[in-house]
Structure 1
Amino acid sequence: MHNSWWRNLDIQVVLWVSFLSILGYGAQRAILPWHMSSLGMDPALAGVFLSFFGPPRALMNIVGGYLTDTFRRKVNFLLGVALYGVVGYVVLAFSLNSAAIAASRVLIGLGLAWGTTAAMAILSDYSTPEIRGTVFGVQKGFYWVGIALSGYMAVVAYNRWGFMPTMLLSAGLGCLSLVLIGQLMSSCTPPETGELRLERRNRGWMETFKALARDPRYTALSFGGLLAKIVEDGLVIVLLPMFFAGSVVAAGLSVTAFTVAFAVFQPFGGALSDGWGRKRVITRGMVLTIIGAALLINEPGTVLIVISSFVMGVGVAVLSPAAEAMAGDLAAERVRATAIGYWRFQRDMGSFWGPLILPVITLSIGKDMVLFILIVLLLTSGVACARWLPGKAD
């Protein structure tokens, strides 16, 4: 399995479905704000409705994890992909007002969390701790390459055919993903025996959740994931364009630099965590993120902003698959999906809190002070990970 995991058909299906079904998500990220503007929607109200994606996605990580541990992985994966990759995209294609768009964003958020949690549980079932980081990192590569490519392809399709055909084409790719899951995947993964599923059902969700919340290892992992998302969706996506970049070009370059680094280096982060150990890669990723944030202090120019964004992208990229793999490593088989879902919930709350509070705090105390606070929090997280997470030999 160590050298031939990529030949496993179930793993191949997860990788290609991760790529095909996410193209529509990347497409709507690129063209939906412009489409809403073309419909004459109020920009402030549009922003509120677009934010409906985050909280449902975060919460569904926990629910989806429990469902994936209780029922078959394949069924959960298929239903999650169907919800965001078909139903969500179709509803969005026919949405002509803010309320309908908000409803589609909720569906996409719920389905994406459910399907991705199930996908990571499947990959975790088929991978030992010695290769799990590599497998998770490759999945992240397929996922983010899809998002990056679809951003360009969606603009071309939108200009040629319009919004509705673009999203319906994305839903068609979602249907293809469902065919791949239904026809090619095994009905259950090796650990999914009848006895194990019965053991899962006999252990209450709240009992498992409380155990995870009390575990200092998951606390350290969750805090690191939360801060990584605050850096990505708060500092890079919101603060850099609004408070640091001096032009639209600088803003676009900074976000692009982070996205490219994030897409390219996640597979390397996963592989490194298999060789060096999860804790070492997570803490090194924190250090890189701190260095990138520190480069923004004291009014940097455009070149330094882009370099900072790239360095932060590398840092967040290498620690993310290592942390998610460790969330799977630390859990017993009967609650592995629940544990991964719990970590993903804590991480994704950073996507909610970052854009919400960082601009407000920046307006109150200034951007350099915000950077200082963020650096201190990242240092604290790194120390917590070094203290509580097990090393490779453990």
Structure 2
Amino acid sequence: MLGLRQNLAQFLLLVAVNALVGGTLGQERTVLPLLASQTFHLGLYTSALTYILAFGLSKAAMNYFAGTLSDRYGRKPVLVAGWLVAIPIPLMLIFGPTWAWIVAANVLLGTSQGLTWSTTVIMKMDLVGPRQRGLAMGLNEAAGYLGVAVTALATGYLASAYGLRPAPFLLGAAYIALGLGLSVLRVRETHHHARAEASQHVNAHDQAHAGLTTKEIFTLTSFKDRSLSSVSQAGMVNNLNDGLAWGLFPVLFAGAGLSLHQIGILAAVYPAVWGAGQLFTGAASDRWGRKWFITAGMLVQAVGLAVVAGGDTFAIWLVAAVLLGLGTAMVYPTLLAAIGDVAHPTWRARSVGIYRLWRDGGFAVGALLSGLIADLYGIPAAIGAVAALTALSGLVVALRMRGNDHTTT
């Protein structure tokens, strides 16, 4: 049966699993930019951001394959495979003698995140059905990014107390072991729920598109469908600015004389507000619709980035981190729910994977764009440019996305 109440135990288990997925990513948020500059002495921002480029490209590719593989082989095998890929990552981050090892670890991290996070999204959509999709995505993304935030804060403390290596990455190793164990022993397959929903679909537009090939789904999601393509570009720009925040914010803060503890707080506040906010924004978009939540969220993000670019104190940057987290909370679950609204259940997993391909490709674009601008003109200029791009993305959604692609309106 479809519905949150009917599948509550399995849903909550998947929420916990995604918190561990987020924690595995969060082990890097505070420490790795400082590791690049202080341990490996990488001077150019573009060089230091190679790990985000590697992460973004591998995660984007795996997002695409995760949807296709989960349709073909089931959701659970893909989830377990993602955890297996993650096993070597903490060891490579701890013992890597050169920067190439760190980049290679981030290829594995992106691969793992693409398989695990994509699959938890798809499985929750399978379980809840159409009417609570925004709530489901809000809970999923809240768990993941609160996991990022708590771990970023914890690793900042561990790094200040015990050094940049190995202590912060031991936490990631524990998350991977627990996530793998839960996924193997407790998580159940959900693909049959999607088939049940597909059998109940009566929307004429969806039925006309029920038998699309993967190539046709890619074209529809990326370019042809006004709503799906609007969501895809907004997701890409959202993660473009997140890649900027991940790679350059700690360097900017350290250059301004902030302590490692203060940098850890700022690195945690942004995903913490982002994570907690999604507990409310996902469900609110179920009630009020997706389009204007996405537009407003992109504009709030742009304001937050502009405040970072113009700021020079911990207090100002703390306000900016809250704004950036709030804007992202408005956007993140709503984008995923919007994909679920439009895509037919028989190819929803593939459409989610294609959307996440574009979205997480934003990490790679953000690493290259912000690194090049920072090398040429400084970090504030890079942040200002991305702020303008984020505002433009919000306007594209306002002008292009249909306003009636919402299951409960």
TM bracket (short chain): 0.7 to 0.9
The one-letter code of the counterpart of 2:226 is: P
Counterpart in the other structure of 1:26: 26
How far 1:356 moved relative to its partner? 2.2
Counterpart in the other structure of 2:201: none
How far 1:301 moved relative to its partner? 5.9
The one-letter code of the counterpart of 1:8 is: L
What is the rounded CA distance, in whole Å, between the counterparts of 2:168 and 2:316 in structure 1? 36
Say whether 1:340 aligns with 2:356.
no
Q: Are the aligned partners of 1:58 and 1:113 in contact in 2 as well (CA < 8 Å)? A: yes
1:375/1:193 CA distance change after superposition, 3 Å: closer
Counterpart in the other structure of 2:328: 316
Q: Are the aligned partners of 2:309 and 2:380 in contact in 1 as well (CA < 8 Å)? A: yes
Q: Are the aligned partners of 1:129 and 1:274 in contact in 2 as well (CA < 8 Å)? A: no
How far 1:72 moved relative to its partner? 0.3
Two-structure CA RMSD over aligned residues (Å): 3.9
The one-letter code of the counterpart of 2:57 is: P
How far 1:273 moved relative to its partner? 0.9
Q: Are the aligned partners of 2:94 and 2:166 in contact in 1 as well (CA < 8 Å)? A: yes
From 184, 189, 205, the equivalent of 2:214 is: 205
Counterpart in the other structure of 1:78: 80
How far 1:100 moved relative to its partner? 3.1
What is the rounded CA distance, in whole Å, between the counterparts of 2:311 and 2:136 in structure 1? 40
Counterpart in the other structure of 1:258: 270
TM-score, with length taken from structure 2: 0.80
How far 1:153 moved relative to its partner? 3.5
From 242, 245, 250, the equivalent of 1:232 is: 242
1:160/1:380 CA distance change after superposition, 3 Å: closer
SS at match of 1:130: coil
Q: Are the aligned partners of 1:245 and 1:251 in contact in 2 as well (CA < 8 Å)? A: no
Q: Are the aligned partners of 1:222 and 1:347 in contact in 2 as well (CA < 8 Å)? A: yes
What is the rounded CA distance, in whole Å, between the counterparts of 1:371 and 1:96 in structure 2? 31
What is the rounded CA distance, in whole Å, between the counterparts of 2:150 and 2:140 in structure 1? 16
What is the rounded CA distance, in whole Å, between the counterparts of 1:373 and 1:384 in structure 2? 17
Say whether 1:215 aligns with 2:225.
yes
Counterpart in the other structure of 1:41: 40
Q: Are the aligned partners of 1:220 and 1:389 in contact in 2 as well (CA < 8 Å)? A: no
Q: What number of residue pairs does the alignment pair up? A: 391
1:333/1:42 CA distance change after superposition, 3 Å: same
1:48/1:241 CA distance change after superposition, 3 Å: closer
Counterpart in the other structure of 1:181: 183
What is the rounded CA distance, in whole Å, between the counterparts of 1:37 and 1:372 in structure 2? 23
What is the rounded CA distance, in whole Å, between the counterparts of 1:172 and 1:302 in structure 2? 32
Counterpart in the other structure of 1:153: 154
SS at match of 2:131: helix
Q: Are the aligned partners of 1:133 and 1:321 in contact in 2 as well (CA < 8 Å)? A: yes
1:3/1:66 CA distance change after superposition, 3 Å: closer
How far 1:122 moved relative to its partner? 0.4
How far 1:366 moved relative to its partner? 7.8
From 245, 255, 258, the equivalent of 1:248 is: 258
How far 1:208 moved relative to its partner? 2.3
Counterpart in the other structure of 1:102: 103
Q: Percent identity?
A: 22
What is the rounded CA distance, in whole Å, between the counterparts of 2:64 and 2:90 in structure 1? 23
Deviations 1:280-339 (A, max 9, x none): 211221232233345467667654443233212211111111111111221111211111
What is the rounded CA distance, in whole Å, between the counterparts of 1:371 and 1:29 in structure 2? 18
Q: Are the aligned partners of 2:149 and 2:268 in contact in 1 as well (CA < 8 Å)? A: no
How far 1:364 moved relative to its partner? 5.3
Following superposition of structure 1 onto structure 2, how do residues 47-196 of structure 1 map, counting pairs within 5 Å? 48-49=50-51, 51-84=53-86, 86-154=87-155, 163=165, 167=169, 170-191=172-193, 193=195
Q: Are the aligned partners of 1:9 and 1:185 in contact in 2 as well (CA < 8 Å)? A: no
What is the rounded CA distance, in whole Å, between the counterparts of 2:348 and 2:387 in structure 1? 32
SS at match of 1:248: coil
What is the rounded CA distance, in whole Å, between the counterparts of 2:31 and 2:135 in structure 1? 32
TM-score, with length taken from structure 1: 0.82
Deviations 1:158-213 (A, max 9, x none): 6569945764564344233223222322234333559x8xxx9x864323212322
How far 1:73 moved relative to its partner? 0.8
1:299/1:185 CA distance change after superposition, 3 Å: closer
Following superposition of structure 1 onto structure 2, how do residues 366-381 of structure 1 map, counting pairs within 5 Å? 374=386, 376-381=388-393
Unaligned runs of 5+ in 1: none
What is the rounded CA distance, in whole Å, between the counterparts of 2:35 and 2:75 in structure 1? 36
**Which range moves more in the overlay, 1-10 or 125-134?**
1-10
What is the rounded CA distance, in whole Å, between the counterparts of 1:104 and 1:135 in structure 2? 31
Counterpart in the other structure of 1:326: 338
The one-letter code of the counterpart of 1:207 is: E
SS at match of 1:190: helix
**Which range moves more in the overlay, 338-347 or 167-176?**
167-176
SS at match of 1:333: coil
Deviations 1:326-370 (A, max 9, x none): 112211112111111111121222222223223533665788876
What is the rounded CA distance, in whole Å, between the counterparts of 1:338 and 1:317 in structure 2? 24
Counterpart in the other structure of 2:202: none
1:154/1:3 CA distance change after superposition, 3 Å: same
The one-letter code of the counterpart of 1:99 is: A
1:163/1:344 CA distance change after superposition, 3 Å: same
SS at match of 2:193: coil
How far 1:56 moved relative to its partner? 0.8
1:245/1:307 CA distance change after superposition, 3 Å: farther
Unaligned runs of 5+ in 2: 199-208
